[in-house]
Amino acid sequence: MNIIHAIFLAIIEGLTEFLPISSTAHMIFTSSIFGIEKDKFVEMFQVSIQFGAILAVVVLYWKKFFDFKNLQFYFKLGAAVIPALILGKLFDDKIEAVLGNPIPIAIVLILGGIVLLFIDKVFTQPTIEDEKEIPLKTAIIIGFWQCLAMMPGTSRSAASIIGGMQQKLSRKAAAEFSFFLAVPTMFAVTAYSVFLKDWDNDIKGYELLMQGNHLLYFLLGNAIAFIVAILAIKFFIGVLTKYGFKPWGWYRIIIGLILLIYFSFFQHN
């Protein structure tokens, strides 16, 4: 991987992390299309630059994250993230195995897109308009919905937003709680990938960062993902509020079909 590759992947991460279109799938496809050789650092890079994206949420919603008088906010996020932490650790190896096969990921993109075409018609009577109105039980249920995104191509954002709407949150409230929930979830994933996970022959992520230009790519990637994610979040909220999920559904179906054809018939030629 070179610096141009790092920049491209960071832009893709920032654009897609909070959209219901699967950032993981887009980075996998980008790596393949641009011929980015897959090694342990590239795998770690794709995960760890999510840290820059979640910082965008903290900055945009800084009053919420630094309101230490509202302890319920932190408690709800902490409880909601537990299912993903437990199941993510249990199924880590199986998730990695799927990441190596783009065909099922493209299929999941298409199926998820079909779901998004109709989701606005399914949940039409929200009763919760603000995060403060979300009960602890509801937050935990949304946390379980988030676990559906362990299948690459599902989209963590899509799973948790749909879970929120199923729990009577409005589209905007569900999207914002999904953003909030991403912070502890992605922070845990990044910390695990950098400090705890054995990537190759007992080499930790931080040891990979000390090799060659890896640290430069890591810092640059997080900075770019941070900037792009700020713009993407604002754009997403505007589109979601005005048009709902249908545009993202059609996008997933079209991209999924293109990628399914590409990886089925052209990649091996």
Identify whether the C-beta of residue 61 lies closer than 8 Å to the C-beta of residue 180: yes
Rounded (to 5) percent helix, strand, coil in the chain: 80, 5, 20
Rounded Cα distance between 12 and 7, Å, is 9
Domain ranges (residues) in the chain: 3-266
Question: Strands, DSSP E only, in 46-143?
Answer: none
Secondary structure (DSSP) of 152-186: TTS-HHHHHHHHHHHTTB-HHHHHHHHHHHHHHHH
Per-residue pLDDT tens listing for the chain (269 residues): 899 999 999 999 999 999 999 888 888 888 888 888 888 899 899 989 999 999 999 999 999 899 888 889 999 999 999 998 888 877 776 776 666 678 888 999 999 999 999 998 898 889 999 888 999 999 999 999 999 988 888 899 999 999 999 999 999 899 999 999 999 988 988 998 999 888 877 789 899 999 999 999 999 999 999 999 999 998 998 888 888 899 999 999 999 999 899 888 876 54
Q: What is the DSSP letter of 128?
A: B
Query: Could you tell me which of 192, 182, 95 has the C-alpha nearest to residue 143?
Result: 182
Amino acid symbol at 54 = I
